[in-house]
Amino acid sequence: MTMTFLLAAIIAAIAGILLVPITGKMQDGGFNLKFKLLFFIVVFVLACIVTGVILYITMIDLNWTAVWPAIAILALLGAFLTGGVERKIKGIIAFAGIAIAVYMLSAPVFNADKKYDSAKMTVATELKAFDETKTPASVPPKYARNKMNKAFGQVPNTSYFELGNLQIQKINDEFVYVAPVEFSDVFKWFKGDTTPGYFVVSATDSSANPKFVKKDMKYIPSAFLNDNVVRYMRLHNPLKIFNGEVQLEIDDDGTPYYIRTYGKFISARNGFEPQGIVMVNAQNGKIKSYKIKDVPTFIDGAISPEAVSLQNSYYGNYIHGYWNTIFGKKDIKIPSDEGVEANVSPVFDEEGTMYYFTDFTSPKEGVESMLGYSLTNAHTGEATYYTGSAEESYMDSAGALQVVEKKFVEKKWSGSMPLLYNFYGETSWLVPVLDSNGFLQNYYIVSAANPEIAVSGTSPKEALRLYKNVLSRSGSTTVNGSSSKEEKTTQGTVMRVYKETAGDFTNVSFLLSDETNYTVSSEVSPLAVYLQEGDTVKFTYLNTTETFLQVKDLTITSLNKKEIIKKDKK
C-alpha cells in the first residue's frame, strides 16, 4: 500500500512540474510565484488522488512503463501553457513519450521472434501409452459443478454464498475438483467477513458425491478492499507482472492457498514469460513468492492456463515471424479453443503430474485435421509438441465433438472436454457426453485416425474395455489393440469360462490353470463360443498390464471337427 501511495505522489509531482510554468510566461502574460505555487498544490493533490484511486482499483503493476502515456500527455499540456526554453524542454519530453508509446504499440510486430523462442517446445511423435490399470481424470468440470451446486445445502448460511471457480488438482494422490465458497455480493462480505470453506469432488469417479470441507477463508476473490486476494497480492508485490486468474490450491493437510503466476514482459509491456508464483494462505494471509524451480510440490498448476494458452499461441503463430501471420501463413498452427480453462484442458499422467493439453489445427477454414498437439507441465512449464504419425491424418478436438454430436443427435447430448490418449497403441479421443442439463450420461472413445472405430460406455473403464474389443477385431494394420504392441503365444488348460453377448458377437473370458485371465471375441475367433472348462487351448494374446489380456486368435486343441458336428446336432 505504501508503494502505491508513493508512486501516486511521484506521478503527481511530475504532473505538477510538467503543467505548472516554472521559469517562463504564458504566451499572453505571466504567472506570479504565489499563483504558480497554488497551481502546483492543486495539480499535485488532484493528480495524487486520481492516480492513487486508479492504481488501487485497476491493480496495475507499478512498472515505470505503465505511466509513460500519462507523462507524454502532461508534457504536451505543459508545453502548451508555457513558452521559451521551458516549452522546448517539455516538448522534447512529450516527443519522447510519444516515441515510447509508438514503440509500445508496435512491439507485437518486432518481438514475434522473441515470443516464439520463449515458447519453444521439445518435439516428439506420439504420446506415451496410457496405463490400462489407471482411470483417466475424465469427469468434465460442468458436471462436477452441477453436483457441487446440488450439494450446496451443506454450507452454513447458504444465502450468503455462491460456488466459486473449479480447479482440478491432486490431493493425497487422488485427482479431484475443488471449488471455493464465495460471497454472493458486497453486503454479504461486509456481514460475513469470512467464507466457511470449499467443496471437493472426485475427477475420476462420476458417481462420487461432493464433500464440503470447513475452512474459514478471509482472502478470496469475492472479498472487497484489502481482503480481496488479487488486490492483497498486488499490494504486497507492486512491481510484479501477473498473468491469469488466481487459482485455489489445497495442500495434503487441507489448508487452502491462492496462487497466481508472475513473470516478465517479452518486451515493451507485450508478451509474457512465466517466472514463478505468489502464494497466499487464504485463512491467515501469509504471503510468499516462489520461483518456478522452488514451487512447493503440492502446487499442481504453478503455470496459469492463461500463460500456457499464450505460449501455445506464440509457438503456433510465430514460427516465421509476425508478417507470416498475415501473409503466406507458412507452417502456422492454430491452437484449439475447445479447452475447459483458457482454451487448454488439464490432464494427469500416470505419476500424477498435471499437464495442460491443446491440439493444433490448420489456419485454413473448414479443415478438421489435427496438425499436432502439445502437453505443458503445469508445475514446471516444460512443454512437448507431438507431431503424430506422418502416415496418418488425425481428427482434431472440434471434429471429435462433432462425431459425438452426430452420434447422439436424437437425444440432444453433446461432448465436453475432449482429451487425447494413446489407448492400446491407437491415438484416440476420450469425450465425456453430457445431456442438455449438463449431467454426465456417457463416455465416448473414438480413434483420431479412423472415426469409424468408436465405442461408448457408461464409465471410462467400460468404454476402454469395449474399445479394446473393437480394436482387436478391426483388422486394421495400424491398430493392434495394445499399448505396448507386444504379442505373445501361450497354451494351457481352461479352468473357468464366462460368456456374454456383445451385439452380434460373444465375448468369452477364461481362466487358465496358471491363474492368468484372457478375453476373446467370437468375431476374432468364432469357435471360441464352444470353449468350456477342461479344454486345452493355444492362442496369441496382447501382453498389456490389464487383468484380462486380449486374445488375437485362439485354437481349442482339445476340440476336433467331430465334436463340433455333435454339438451342432444337439
At 467 the pLDDT is: 87
Q: Which residues pair with 540 in a beta bridge?
A: 489, 553
In a domain, residue 127? The reply is no
pLDDT class of 562 with cuts at 50, 70, 90: very low
Task: Tell me: do 200 and 289 sit in the same domain.
Answer: yes
Q: Which CA distances in Å does 320 have to 49, 244, 315?
A: 47, 27, 10
At 26 the pLDDT is: 46
**Rounded distance between C-alpha atoms, residue 325 and residue 314, angstroms:** 11
* Overall average pLDDT of the 305-332 stretch: 94
pLDDT digits 0-9 by tens, 325-372: 999 889 999 999 888 899 999 998 878 889 999 999 988 877 778 899
Q: Give φ, ψ of 31 to 5 degrees.
A: -110, 140
Total domain count, the chain = 5
Task: Tell me: do 318 and 379 sit in the same domain.
Answer: yes
Residues 212/154, Cβ–Cβ less than 8 Å: yes
The residue among 139, 131, 134 whose CA lies nearest residue 208 is 139
129 DSSP assignment:
P
Residue tagged 467443496 (cell numbers): 199
Residues 344/305, Cβ–Cβ less than 8 Å: yes
Task: Tell me: do 172 and 82 sit in the same domain.
Answer: no
**Rounded distance between C-alpha atoms, residue 40 and residue 144, angstroms:** 58
Task: Tell me: do 81 and 49 sit in the same domain.
Answer: yes
The residue among 369, 473, 452 whose CA lies nearest residue 403 is 452
In a domain, residue 412? The reply is yes
The CA-based angle 463-464-466, given to 5 degrees, is 65
Residue 256, C-alpha cell as written in the block: 487452502
pLDDT class of 476 with cuts at 50, 70, 90: very low
* Overall average pLDDT of the 520-535 stretch: 88
At 375 the pLDDT is: 95
At 446 the pLDDT is: 94
pLDDT class of 561 with cuts at 50, 70, 90: low
What domain range is 439 assigned to?
Answer: 394-474
Domain-terminating residue out of 416, 442, 474: 474
At 27 the pLDDT is: 44
* Overall average pLDDT of the 388-398 stretch: 85
* Higher pLDDT pick, 567 / 48: 48
CA torsion, ordered 323, 326, 327, 330, to nearest 10 deg: 80
At 503 the pLDDT is: 66
Residues 432/417, Cβ–Cβ less than 8 Å: yes
pLDDT digits 0-9 by tens, 79-132: 887 777 888 888 888 888 888 888 888 999 999 999 999 999 999 988 887 877
Task: Tell me: do 317 and 295 sit in the same domain.
Answer: no
Task: Tell me: do 249 and 379 sit in the same domain.
Answer: no
**Rounded distance between C-alpha atoms, residue 387 and residue 385, angstroms:** 6
Task: Tell me: do 296 and 365 sit in the same domain.
Answer: no
* Higher pLDDT pick, 328 / 305: 305
CB neighbours (10 Å) of residue 145?
Answer: 19
Q: What is the CA radius of gyration of the chain?
A: 31
Lowest mean pLDDT across 289-303, 342-356, 397-411, 478-492? 478-492
- By the 10 Å C-beta count (0-12 exposed, 13-18 middle, 19+ buried), 501 is classed as exposed
Task: Tell me: do 379 and 400 sit in the same domain.
Answer: no
Which residue type is seen at 222? S
Residue 213, C-alpha cell as written in the block: 470441507
At 105 the pLDDT is: 86
* Helix H or strand E segment including 7: helix 2-19
Task: Tell me: do 159 and 298 sit in the same domain.
Answer: yes
pTM for the model: 0.81
Domain-terminating residue out of 362, 386, 410: 386
Distance of CA 467 to the CA centre of its chain: 27
At 284 the pLDDT is: 95
In a domain, residue 150? The reply is no
Task: Tell me: do 167 and 205 sit in the same domain.
Answer: yes
In a domain, residue 529? The reply is yes
In a domain, residue 497? The reply is yes
pLDDT digits 0-9 by tens, 452-475: 899 988 888 888 888 887 887 664
pLDDT digits 0-9 by tens, 420-438: 998 888 889 999 999 988 8
The residue among 423, 487, 425 whose CA lies nearest residue 460 is 423
Residue 182 scores a pLDDT above 70? yes
Domain-terminating residue out of 360, 386, 412: 386
Task: Tell me: do 172 and 298 sit in the same domain.
Answer: yes
* Overall average pLDDT of the 504-529 stretch: 88
Residue 402 scores a pLDDT above 50? yes
What is the bridge-based pairing of β-strands 548-556 and 517-521?
A: parallel
Residue 386 scores a pLDDT above 70? yes
Q: Compute the mean pLDDT over every residue in the chain, rounded to the nearest whole number.
A: 87
In a domain, residue 128? The reply is no
In a domain, residue 131? The reply is no
**Rounded distance between C-alpha atoms, residue 337 and residue 418, angstroms:** 11
**Rounded distance between C-alpha atoms, residue 158 and residue 136, angstroms:** 33
Residues 539/493, Cβ–Cβ less than 8 Å: no
Task: Tell me: do 282 and 188 sit in the same domain.
Answer: yes
Residues 6+ apart with CB under 8 A from 187: none
In a domain, residue 570? The reply is no
Which residue type is seen at 506? T
Q: Which CA distances in Å does 174 have to 137, 255, 524?
A: 10, 16, 38
* Higher pLDDT pick, 567 / 159: 159
Residue 201, C-alpha cell as written in the block: 469432488
